[in-house]
Amino acid sequence: MISSIRALGSKIPLAKNVRHATYLILGKPGGGKGTISKKILASHEGFVHISTGDILREEVNKGSEIGLKAKGIMESGGLLPDDLMVDLVSTSISSLPSPPKHLLLDGFPRTMPQAVALDAVVPVEHVISLDIPNSVIVERTSDRWLSPSTNRVYSYSYQPPKVHGKCDDTGEDLIQRDDDKPESVLKRLETYDEMTKPLNDYYSEKGILQGFDGETSDVIFKKVTKWLDGH
């Protein structure tokens, strides 16, 4: 087990590619990780955001080999294999045009082996953990629409597009994620409890986890900003 984890970790050439701090954003599916990440990027300089879910959705759209493998797993609410995800994150970071000041990882790590693999090569300084009630999540995900080419997220109750059904930036027809069907969302919440929730204890014991709760991303983001500006 340990050697296979080391083998995973050895594939991530992160340390030299991040100049300052590595932040993780953890939380349930539909819990606002993407929304809060975009707000951090818009208000704080030097962050580069890598969302493994966004990368996988791009691969699915392209019909690549990874995308074909990912499609069914994502739709059913399961997780892709750890070694594939470690390779994917590794490639994304090494292909950044220049080393970011801060790296914000969203959706990775999602299992203990992924967390240990990451630790083996780059120190994680800060973990932003979002806590939203499950009842809010099921409601939100059914209302979530995306721009197919940019992954910009809209919600008719929270951030509606200017023209119904069209992306503000590209004018394309908005689409819904296949894994936002209620049965898929419930399975993703189960997978989260089983595989990802333990990461909260792991980072909490290291003393680097900062928890933020609330029912809306606006309320949570005010708390995140206060904390980001204060440390």
For residues 38 and 46, give the distance between their C-alpha atoms in angstroms, rounded to a whole number. Answer: 13
User: What is the distance between the alpha carbons of residues 56 and 32, in angstroms, rounded to a whole number?
Assistant: 18
C-beta closer to ligand AP5: residue 74 or 167: 74
Is residue 212 at the binding interface for ligand AP5, with CB under 6 A as the rule? no
Answer for which of 4, 149, 176, 216 binds ligand AP5 (CB under 6 A) is 216
33 annotated active-site? yes
Cβ-Cβ contacts under 8 Å for 92 (sequence gap 6 or more)? 50, 55
Active site residue 6: no
Options 24, 26, 30, 59; binder of ligand AP5; rule CB under 6 A = 30
User: Catalytic site residue 140?
Assistant: no
Nearer to Mg ion, 18 or 50 (CB): 50
Distances (CA, A) of 59 to 89, 178, 230: 13, 14, 38
Supply 82's token pair. 């750890």
Of 51-59, 124-132, 156-164, 212-220, the segment contacting Mg ion by CB under 5 A is 51-59
Distance separating alpha carbons of residues 59 and 192, to the nearest angstrom: 22
The piece of 6-14, 52-60, 61-69, 182-190 that touches Mg ion (CB under 5 A) is 52-60
Site for ligand AP5 in 36-75 (CB under 6 A): 52-53, 56, 73-74
> How is residue 166 annotated by DSSP?
B
d(CA 36, CA 32): 6
Task: Verify binding: residue 158, ligand AP5, rule CB under 6 A.
Answer: yes
- Alpha helical stretches, state H, 120-181: 134-142
For strand 209-213 and strand 102-106, is the pairing parallel, antiparallel, or unpaired?
unpaired
- Catalytic residue, chosen from 28, 71, 144, 152, is 144
- Give the position of tokens 């090569």: 121
Q: Catalytic residue among 177, 181, 187, 206, which?
A: 177
Binding residues (CB under 6 A) for ligand AP5: these are: 27, 29-35, 52-53, 56, 73-74, 77-80, 85, 107-108, 110, 114, 140, 143-144, 153, 155, 157-159, 179, 188, 216-218
Task: List, by residue number, the catalytic residues.
Answer: 33, 110, 144, 177, 188
